[in-house]
């Protein structure tokens, strides 16, 4: 887990609630009754945005499905706005970390909308593995059992 600038002074679960309530500053780019979007204070690239629900949910399991859909709908609109803005990006990544192992630092669900340009140095790092069809089928069956 990376160091969070809020960790020493503010509960990371409440910083986004403080932003929504106007108790903490933010540079807003979008607001409606359900979600807000603002500039990330630690951007990976210029124009990096966060989209959050007004009502906090610590994890995706706590987030109502319709709110998850709303986060991505707003993210899609913001991606188009980024391309048309002075950011003038070539592409956009969405990123949502759910849980400490996934890199979540602030425990209020948030969707990163990250503008991308060639050579910006941002990317997923890892080592994809070739999988056997039998293993894929086995895991697919296990996951299907949990889908409701």
**Active-site annotation holds for 112:** no
| pLDDT tens-digit series, residues 14-68 | 699 999 999 999 999 999 999 999 999 999 999 999 999 999 899 999 999 999 9
Q: What is the pLDDT of residues 67-91, one digit of tens each?
A: 999 999 999 999 999 999 999 899 9
Kindly list the domain boundaries of the chain, sorted by start residue: 15-146
The residue among 58, 47, 37, 140 whose CA lies nearest residue 105 is 58
What's the rounded mean pLDDT across residues 112-117? 96
* Given 48, 108, 110, 127, the catalytic residue: 110
- What's the pTM value of the predicted model, to 2 decimals? 0.86
Largest CA distance in the chain: 53
Q: Assign domain 15-146 to a CATH class.
A: alpha beta
Give percent helix, percent strand, percent coil of the chain, each to the nearest 5: 30, 15, 50
């Amino acid at each position: 887990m990376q160091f969070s600038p809020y960790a020493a002074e503010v509960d990371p679960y409440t910083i986004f609630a403080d932003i929504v309530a106007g108790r903490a500053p933010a540079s807003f780019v979008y607001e409606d009754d359900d979600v807000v979007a603002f500039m990330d204070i630690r951007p990976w690239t210029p124009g990096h945005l966060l989209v959050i629900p007004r009502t906090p949910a610590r994890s995706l399991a706590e987030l109502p499905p319709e709110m998850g859909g709303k986060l991505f709908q707003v993210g899609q609109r913001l991606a188009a706005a980024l391309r048309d803005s002075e950011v003038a990006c070539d592409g956009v990544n969405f990123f949502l970390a759910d849980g400490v192992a996934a890199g979540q630092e602030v425990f209020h669900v948030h969707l990163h909308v990250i503008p991308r340009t060639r050579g910006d140095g941002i990317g997923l790092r890892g080592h994809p593995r070739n999988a056997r069809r039998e293993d894929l089928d086995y895991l697919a069956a296990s996951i299907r059992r949990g889908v409701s």
